[in-house]
Amino acid sequence: MVQSLNTSVEFQTRGQSYLGVGGQVGNFLVGDKALEFYSDRNVQDFIQMPWENIQSIGANVSRGKVSRHFEVKTDLGNFRFSSPDSGRILKIARQHLGDEKVVRLPTLVQLTWKKIQQALSIKDDYVPKK
């Protein structure tokens, strides 16, 4: 049996983890010590992220709505999740991590526009032939 890192649970919800091939459906436990995800299929497939190991957490925000997909960056790597309650998860994370670690991630349109701008920009070391 897996032992939770949390001594008290502040919020519990359903969601999906995108770790590995495909996704795993399970439960999120947001508590006083960590953000945890437990798979429905196999209880041994779990992700426990203590608040002190999380470098940043963020989601896309478009038209004032928080996307259901969010990303957690830790010292061990990046983890992608989705939940219909991602906004609540981020609000609780803000209480534990502070404002500077809860970030707004760029949307797909913003990322595409940035790549186009980078492709069209002229490098400083480029000198046209005469």
pLDDT surpasses 80 at 125 = no
Alpha helices in the chain, H assignment, sequence order: 86-97, 108-120
Flag whether 66 is in a domain: yes
Flag whether 35 is in a domain: yes
Identify the domain containing residue 76 by its residue range: 9-120
Output the six-digit token pair for 4: 């939770």
Flag whether 62 is in a domain: yes
Flag whether 84 is in a domain: yes
pTM of the model: 0.79
Output the six-digit token pair for 125: 């070391």
Q: Distances from the Cα of 64 to the Cαs of 29, 59, 61, 81, 87, in angstroms?
A: 25, 12, 6, 20, 11
- In 3D space, the residue among 90, 74, 75 whose CA is nearest the CA of residue 28 turns out to be 90
Number of structural domains (the chain) is 1
Distance CA 76, CA 26 (A): 21
Task: State pLDDT tens for residues 29-85.
Answer: 999 999 999 999 887 888 999 999 999 999 988 888 888 899 999 998 999 999 999
CATH number for position 113: 2.30.29.30
Q: Indicate the SS3 state at residue 4.
A: coil
Flag whether 55 is in a domain: yes
